[in-house]
Amino acid sequence: MENIVKTGTPTRARAATLVTVGPPARLAEAAGVLAEADEAGSLRHVLISTTGEDVPDVEGLQDVTVENVRPQFLNNAVAALRLSSLPTVVWWRGGPPDRLPAVATLADRVLLDAEDSLPLWRQAPALFGRTALTDFRWARLTRWRGVMALLFDLPQVREAAPDFQRLRITGNDPAQCALFAGWLASSLDWQGRVAVELERAGASASLSKVELDGPSASLQLALHRNGACLTTEARVNGDVLTSRVLSLGSQALPSLLSEELRVRSRDIPFERALQQMAS
């Protein structure tokens, strides 16, 4: 086990230990993100490589411990390096999925950020009672979910809700599209009544359009061509109730990370969305 420690003069008291797990290239990217994140200065940083390869030199961070361990010893490394006096947050950027449960039991919160989330999501329900679990794909859906919920604040839409028959989601990230579908189905208690279609688009956007249709009503969210806004429309009985363009908010990884690091509680809607996907 290789151990490299970088220290500096802390600018403020540490609020948590952030353990970032993944292959070296993704750890190097994470270090750059952490240097920009608002909460970085209040964290004790631990970077753990899961591939047996050394992590590239880490710049821009104070109080950093870098480890290179075999995957089977990953939980031992986390246990040894976390501080019992501080909450432990694990940012999982990659590694053997079967090692996640042992690591999750050592963490107060786990932020999933793997290139392929599906193997991790299949294990997630068994971990819900042991740690607060979420995923960056879910964080990127925050504005989409909020805007869709606003449409259901319209009385006409709520009245038409039992008659929706088809949900069509378009994007180039099937996992993120399926997660949005799981959230909507669990929130509205469809129990399989609404047909769900996931269409993979060639565009670069992980999620580009959501269409919910029924005999008397239709709702649509779409990524604006500028990539920074959402267009929304709600129709009931042929009448346009609302049509707006709203900011998508920052989707940059430093901003998303800063938001997630401020959360400590379990995310029940996320848990229900994953359980819906598994049903």
Summarised one tens digit per residue, pLDDT across range 127-173 is 999 999 999 999 999 999 999 999 999 999 999 999 999 999 999 99
Residue 61, Cα to own-chain centre: how many angstroms?
Answer: 23
Identify the CATH number of the domain defined by range 2-135+261-266: 3.40.50
Summarised one tens digit per residue, pLDDT across range 10-32 is 445 678 999 999 999 999 899 88
Percent helix, strand and coil across the chain, each rounded to 5?
35, 30, 35
pLDDT band of 39, cuts 50, 70, 90: confident
Helix (H) or strand (E) run with residue 177 in it: helix 174-188
* Amino acid making up residue 38: D
Strands of 109-112's sheet in order across: 2-6, 64-68, 43-49, 16-22, 88-92, 109-112, 132-135
Please answer whether residues 234 and 151 qualify as being in contact, where contact means their C-beta atoms are separated by less than 8 angstroms.
Answer: yes
Please answer whether residues 38 and 30 qualify as being in contact, where contact means their C-beta atoms are separated by less than 8 angstroms.
Answer: no
Residue 270 vs residue 40, higher pLDDT: 270
Domains of the chain by residue range: 2-135+261-266, 142-247
- Tokens in use for 27? 């750890």
pLDDT for the residue numbered 6: 47
Residues comprising the chain, all counted = 279
Whole-angstrom Cα Rg for the chain: 21
Q: State residue 161 phi and psi, 5-degree precision.
A: -55, -40
What average pLDDT score do residues 38-66 get? 79
Hey, CA dihedral for 239, 241, 246, 251, is it positive or negative? negative
Model confidence at 110: pLDDT above 80? yes
